[in-house]
């Protein structure tokens, strides 16, 4: 699985679908069992000043219009690019919970134009692997408490429609791999993790170039 630079691996999908659990399991597996230097990150990164504003917005402590908050989510990714690039180039693999795809789907679900939503993320570091967590039709409904701004069943359904439209209509999604995230007797946590590991192993094995490409260019 050796390569000079690390891989950028993105986990995408709705809230509460299992991305956090699975990305932590993957990170532990890569670092402990495969001896691969690896770090887990998440967007929004709420630790920065911009991330603090996003956190306050999500917790309904401040209001912000839809375009402004979209740009803040994007700026929050851009402010992390230099450190992510440095880590990838020194060989660390980054496992990232959400990226520009959430940026588009969540803002489009509010009615913003998809092309406009994408434009501010053009040129971010292009992922080597994107795993989109999808629940099948038979899946139990995910439950949302409404604790944070977007955590309602209705809004998540709108977001899911945007993820699906984007995925089926855009060539930019052709490299996106769908993970069946139905957590039931047939597909437990371990089965889902095995599937993820197999994608990741292929990606690490096939990393050819040490260069980093740009997203949506």
Residue choice 5, 87, 98, 135 for contact with ligand FDM (CB under 6 A): 98
Residue choice 11, 106, 133, 163 for contact with ligand FDM (CB under 6 A): 106
44 is a contact residue toward ligand FDM (CB under 6 A): yes
Could you check whether the bond before residue 116 is cis, i.e. omega within 30 degrees of 0? no
DSSP-derived 3-state class of residue 186: coil
> Which of the ranges 97-105, 164-172, 184-192, 202-210 carries the binding residues for ligand FDM, by CB under 6 A?
97-105
Dihedral angle sign, alpha carbons of residues 27, 124, 129, 93:
negative
150 is a contact residue toward ligand FDM (CB under 6 A): yes
5 is a contact residue toward ligand FDM (CB under 6 A): no
* Residue found by looking up tokens 């299992």 in the block: 18
133 is a contact residue toward ligand FDM (CB under 6 A): no
Cα within 13 Å of Cα(172), Cβ side:
17
Structural contact between residues 22 and 190, judged by C-beta atoms closer than 8 angstroms: no
Residue choice 3, 22, 102, 118 for contact with ligand FDM (CB under 6 A): 102
How many angstroms separate the CA atoms of 86 and 144, rounded?
37
CB burial of residue 193 (10 Å; 0-12, 13-18, 19+): middle
Residue choice 12, 38, 73, 133 for contact with ligand FDM (CB under 6 A): 73
User: At closest approach, how far in Å is the CB of 41 from ligand FDM?
Assistant: 11
Residue choice 8, 23, 40, 43 for contact with ligand FDM (CB under 6 A): 43
160 is a contact residue toward ligand FDM (CB under 6 A): no
Q: Which is nearer to ligand FDM, 98 or 167 (CB)?
A: 98
58 is a contact residue toward ligand FDM (CB under 6 A): yes
Sheet holding 38-42, edge to edge: 38-42, 93-97, 8-13, 129-134, 176-180
Site for ligand FDM, rule CB under 6 A: 15, 43-44, 58, 73, 98, 102-103, 106, 150
């Amino acid at each position: 699985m050796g390569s000079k630079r690390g891989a950028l691996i993105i986990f995408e999908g709705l809230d509460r679908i299992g991305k956090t659990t699975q990305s932590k399991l993957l990170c532990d597996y890569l670092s402990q069992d495969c001896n691969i230097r690896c770090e887990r990150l998440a967007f929004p990164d709420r630790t920065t000043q911009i991330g603090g504003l996003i956190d306050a917005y999500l917790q309904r402590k401040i209001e912000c219009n839809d375009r402004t908050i979209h740009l803040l989510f994007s700026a929050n990714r851009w402010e992390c690019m230099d450190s992510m690039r440095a880590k990838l180039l020194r060989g660390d693999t980054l496992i990232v919970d959400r990226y520009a795809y959430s940026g588009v789907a969540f803002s489009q679900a509010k009615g913003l134009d998809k092309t406009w939503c994408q434009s501010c993320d053009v040129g971010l570091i292009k992922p080597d692997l994107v795993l989109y967590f999808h629940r099948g039709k038979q899946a139990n409904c995910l439950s949302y408490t409404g604790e944070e701004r977007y955590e309602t069943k209705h809004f998540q359904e709108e977001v899911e429609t945007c993820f699906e439209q984007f995925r089926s209509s855009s060539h930019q999604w052709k490299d996106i791999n769908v993970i069946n995230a139905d957590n039931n007797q047939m597909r437990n946590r371990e089965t889902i993790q095995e599937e993820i590991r197999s994608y990741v192993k292929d990606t690490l094995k096939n990393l050819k170039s040490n260069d980093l490409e740009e997203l949506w260019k």
